[in-house]
Amino acid sequence: MSESNQAHRKDEHLSLGVNLWRQSQRLQVGATFDDIRWLPTTFPEMSVSDVDVSTNILGHDFKWPFYIEAMTGGSNLTGRINGELAQVAQKTDLAMAVGSQSIALKEPDAVSSFKIARQNHPDGFLIANLGADHPIENVRDAIDMIDANAIEMHVNVAQELVMSEGDRDFYWLDNLATVIAKSPVPVIIKEVGFGMSTRSVEIIKKLNPSAINIGGANGTNFAIIERRRNRQPDTFNLDQYGLSTVESLLSAQLTSNNTPIVATGGIQTANDIVTSIMLGATLTSSAGFMLETLMDKGQNALIQQINDWQHALPRLFTLLGSKNIKALQQAERLYSPSLYNFIQQNENATR
């Protein structure tokens, strides 16, 4: 497959993103999972075997409340990574999202780097991925490309503004309304790592998508990645911009929102999954942490990590006296003083 400038950009994103995780240089924005403390359940009055960690969202029953989030695709290297991630997803019974397929709509040679996900995970739940400006015709093509079960329409204003060749016009709402109305599969509106405020969630839920992925900060930070890729002075620095996953989940709760929420952004442990569900997520996902494990340690290590999470989740649910997702969302918790202040300020702003 020939390598275009856009394909080279995909490789740069991959390399810079993994290096940030390797070097532990991911800046912490706002509240983290450590700002939530679980209250002990001394008498759970249940057995681990009573727990059902499955979840229903996007018209599908997911055995596990997490999946492999969108990462990459569009070049020889990223196609290989997509193939390996799909093999991991198949062996661990997880759903998987591919990275943005816009390159494959322009460059036929890039299509195979996405199709390999379906080839390696033939019966799995796969999620297509395009930017919020793509028309319904492109959406149908992206879905057909991988025989997708759903599609993420990603919103990424901060990334585009930092990117030297990025978009500068952001009129998305009318197009998203059309896509949601006409898509042959469920549509998820997804942030790429800068989180969502209460107002953002309120605007999105009026579009009636199948789910909202709040895509919080403290995972892979594309503002940092694009700034490093530009190799330009720090004249436009958005490193601390956005809301964390925890803050975004709490913001969504203030909207009386009935649209299912997906949580991604810095999820690195089974405990993070539990806390995200506790704060209202119906489903969670992990990208950068899984990618770094795959790149540095290989498929078997990533499979073991996922198996460890799958083994831990029923025990953690039991610890909190929760037999299922709905019960876990009612589990008692404490907030750190700074996070409690965040909640109070948001409550005041919405009155």
In 3D, which of 271, 272, 263 has the Cα closest to residue 243?
263
Assess whether pLDDT exceeds 80 at residue 240. yes
Is CATH 3.20.20.70 what the domain over 5-350 is classified as, yes or no?
A: yes
Strands 187-191, 150-155: pairing kind:
parallel
Query: CA neighbours within 13 Å on the CB side: how many for 2?
Result: 5
Task: Note the pLDDT tens digit of each residue in 243-274.
Answer: 999 999 999 999 977 999 999 999 999 999 99
Task: Note the pLDDT tens digit of each residue in 23-44.
Answer: 555 578 899 999 999 999 999 9
Assess whether pLDDT exceeds 50 at residue 1. no
Cα distances (Å, whole numbers) of residue 9 to 5, 118, 130, 143, 163: 6, 24, 16, 23, 11
Strands 126-131, 150-155: pairing kind:
parallel
164 burial level (CB within 10 Å; 0-12, 13-18, 19+): exposed
H or E segment at 11?
Answer: helix 5-22
Boundaries of every domain in the chain: 5-350
pTM of the predicted model as reported, rounded to 2 decimal places: 0.92
pLDDT at 39: 97
The Cα 69–Cα 54 span in angstroms is: 18
Assess whether pLDDT exceeds 60 at residue 13. no
The Cα 276–Cα 280 span in angstroms is: 7
Task: Note the pLDDT tens digit of each residue in 40-62.
Answer: 999 999 999 999 999 999 999 99
The Cα 10–Cα 113 span in angstroms is: 11
